[in-house]
Structure formats: structure tokens, C-alpha cells
Amino acid sequence: MKVIYRRCAGLDVHEKSVSVCARIMKGTQVETVEATFPTFTEDLEQLRDWLTRNRIQRVAMESTGVYWRPVWNILEQKPAKLDLLLLNPQHVKALPGHKTDRVDAARIAELLQYGLVRASFVPPQEIRELRDLVRRRVHLQQDRSRVCSRIHRLLELYNIKLSSVLTKMTSQTARSILEGLATAKTMKPEALALLARHKRVRGKQEQLKKALRCQPTDHFRFLLRELLEELDRLTGKMKMMEERIAERMAPYAELIGRLCEMPGVERLTAWTLISEIGVEMSRFPTAGHLASWCGLCPGNAESGGKRHSGRTSKGNRYVRRALLQAAWAAARITRRRTFFTTFFFRVSRKAGMKKAAVAVAHKILALAYIMIRDGSEYREQGADYFDRVHPERTKNRLIQRLERLGFDVRLTAKCIPETS
């Protein structure tokens, strides 16, 4: 095989050590130089200096948990000028019986030298920091949802059927009632029901009285107070995190505004897209490559002329989660039907609603790719887009529906007067 890189190295990264193997072409022969370094900061700086002394041009390492990140951060600093590649461990698996740290580093270096590896996407430092903030907010939101579920469980244990009357346990009305349950020892159901101040809930006073008829104990009130305090703490942390994200996202305000023009896409979705895929689209040749990286396109598995499961891959779960939420929101817009609404129901007729949501998410991502790459704005195609593109198909389909209902259909083309 043809040698692509004359000086390159492979790293096998672990929590406490980094094994490195450098492959250097001297004439027609390949010389290998091996070393092992601890993972303290000064040792990683020595690794960087060792690579520089050996005039290594290109370095590859596996994505092993979070242990690769400090190595990457130190090696990407400007004095070293190293071309770094992050590899998917699934793409560089070792043969059974041939797996040690030294062998792994040598295998990665050899595959790199012959150009047989594909680099994973690693955004620049600024985008990585935004990614940490947005992901932290997601984790806080998930913790908050778990606390809400625990509150619901606690109420059910004491047969308080508040969720049977109120749709949201985090609403202002629900919070007033929960605080009343947590603090008052002798408050009657009638008094608790009066805490509901929202117009829609005022007409449910009798249902609330029945739902709140219980015998709470000191143990119940202690647990409920503790859960409400935990809920407030997480809500405050989420607000603080959102303020920090908004401050760091200020340079991308114009892009966020354009992305939010798409139906179903809100500020949090735009934050997720920018923090996960960045604003430089040259890493992804087409929108299809980006959709594959995010896990929003059908899988490709064929053997013996047969096409096997086409289920989507895992991809980037943060982008997938945000875009699927945006897809469901776009599909359920009832105020005005949009292109996404029509597209969702068009796909769901044959593939089902879940696959239709993935298809809409794919479409949103493809449009976001073009808008970020070209700086263009979103242009709504309208709910009748497919009727305008394929009028003959629409006509035939409607005729068939009327004929199935027992009508004899004859159509006459409408004469449109010519304009001078």
C-alpha cells in the first residue's frame, strides 16, 4: 500500500497513561519509536514536546470516554502545530488475542500512515465550551423532570389525585396547592381548592375538593417540602445556565433569529444546533452527511442482494432529541398549516407517526445546514406545496376518493383569462 504520511503517530489513551507509537519513513523503510507517558499535565506537555522533536505531522487517537479531551487540548495548542484526528473505536477494533496498549497504539499509527482511518468531527474550542453549557442545561432539565415525577409518585402514595384534575404539575396553580399541602397541618380540601386562581381551574372546584381529600402526615409534608426545595434549586440553576448560554451565544444572535423562523424551532433548538454542529459546515460535504452524523437518516445494511434493517443509527443524541421535539411541535401547529405539517401527515400515512417525525427532523436539519452554510433565510413553501408540484397526482387521488364514495366525477378545466 502507498504511504500517505511519512511521519505520524498513534495514541492509545487511558485514564492514567498514554501509549504512543510514532512511524517514521526513512527511505523505503519504516522506523517505529514507542513511548509511554502518564496523564498529568506536565507529562502531556512532555508528550507534545516528544512529538515535536520527532517532527510528527499527524496524530490519531481513539475516543475513549473523556480521557482523550485533556490530551487533545494540550496537543492542539499552537506551538505544536499538530494535525489531530479523533477516531471512532468501532472503526479500529483490535484482532482477538492481539490487544495491548502498545499494540493498539502501533495499529492506530499504521492505519493512519496508510490513510485507512476516518476522523470524527471535533468542533473548535469555543463551540466545545458552548456544547458543555447546553448539555449541562439538558441534564439539569432531566433532573428537574425526575423530581416532578417523584412529586407525582408521592401524591399518588397518599391518594392525592391532583394530576387527574390539573394537566401540569409545574403550573402556578399546582404549585400553590402543593405548598399548601406541604406547610398546613389542618387545611381542609375546600380551602386548598380555593388556591386555584386560574380561570380554567375555577370551574373544577368540586373535582379539586375530591382530589385533595386525604390524610397527610408529618412524614408526607417533610418529603413534599424537600422535593419542592429540590425543584426550586434545579429551576434556579437552569435559569442561571440559560443566562450564561444566552451571553455566550450573543455573537450568533442573527443566525439564531434566522433558525427560529422555521416552524417548531425555538431558541433552545437553535442553541443545540450551534453548540453541537458549529457554524462551519465545510466538515460536512452535504446535508446528508450531517444527517447521518446526527442519526437522522435510514441505515444502510445490505448483504447478498437483500436490504436488511434500515433503522437509524445512534448519532448525536442531543441534536436528535432537540430536532425530534421541534418536528413534533411543527407537525402539531394548528393555527396555520405549514409545509412541515403537510409533510408529516404525508409520510405518516404509510410509515407511521414516529417515522414521520424523524423525516420532519431530517428536513429541518437539512434546511438548517443550508441556512448556516449560505447565510440564507427560511422561506415557507406553504401547506399546498405538494399539490402545486404534482397537481395531476392530487387530482387523480381526489377523484378516486369521490368515486369510492359512489360519485361519478367529470372534471372540466377552468378557463383562465389571458392578461394583456
pLDDT above 90 for 290: yes
* Tens-place pLDDT, residues 231-250: 999 999 999 999 999 999 99
Q: How far is CA 272 from CA 263, 278, 374, in A?
A: 16, 9, 19
User: Residue 52 has which C-alpha cell?
Assistant: 515535536
SS3 of 241, please? helix
Q: Find residue 20's DSSP bridge partners.
A: 11, 35
Taking alpha carbons only, the member of 133, 152, 149, 139 closest to residue 321 is 139
SS3 of 58, please? strand
Strand 58-62 relative to strand 302-303, pairing: unpaired
CB atoms within 10 A of CB 96: 6
* Tens-place pLDDT, residues 143-194: 999 999 999 999 888 888 888 777 777 888 788 888 888 887 666 766 666 6
Share above pLDDT 90 across residues of the chain, in percent, rounded to a whole number: 58
Q: Is the dihedral of CA 25, 12, 106, 125 positive or negative?
A: negative
92: Cα within 13 Å, side-chain hemisphere: 30
What whole-number distance in Å separates Cα of residue 161 and Cα of residue 152?
9
Name the burial class of residue 59, with classes exposed (0-12), middle (13-18) and buried (19+) by CB atoms within 10 angstroms of its CB: buried
CB atoms within 10 A of CB 228: 18
Q: Do 264 and 380 form a contact (C-beta atoms < 8 A)? A: no
Q: What are phi and psi of 139, to 5 degrees?
A: -65, -40
pLDDT-based confidence at residue 333 (cuts at 50, 70, 90): confident
Averaged pLDDT for residues 332-349 = 85
Averaged pLDDT for residues 92-111 = 85
Go through the domains of the chain in sequence order and give each one's CATH number: 7-120 (3.30.420.10), 127-248 (1.10.287), 252-300+310-420 (no CATH)
User: Residue 267 has which C-alpha cell?
Assistant: 431558541
Measure CA of the first residue to CA of the last residue in the chain; give whole Å. 70
pLDDT above 90 for 217: no
Lowest mean pLDDT among 267-276, 306-315, 359-368, 369-378: 306-315
What whole-number distance in Å separates Cα of residue 330 and Cα of residue 378?
14
pLDDT-based confidence at residue 327 (cuts at 50, 70, 90): very high
* Tens-place pLDDT, residues 356-369: 999 999 999 999 99
SS3 of 352, please? coil
Distance from the Cα of residue 287 to its chain's centroid = 16
pLDDT at 419: 56
What whole-number distance in Å separates Cα of residue 162 and Cα of residue 158?
11
* Tens-place pLDDT, residues 40-60: 999 999 999 999 999 998 999
Label residue 419 left, alpha or beta by phi (over 0 means left) and psi (-120 to 50 means alpha).
Answer: beta
Residue with cell 480521557: 67
pLDDT-based confidence at residue 226 (cuts at 50, 70, 90): very high
- As a whole number of Å, the CA-based R_g of the chain is 29
What whole-number distance in Å separates Cα of residue 298 and Cα of residue 391?
29
CB atoms within 10 A of CB 299: 13
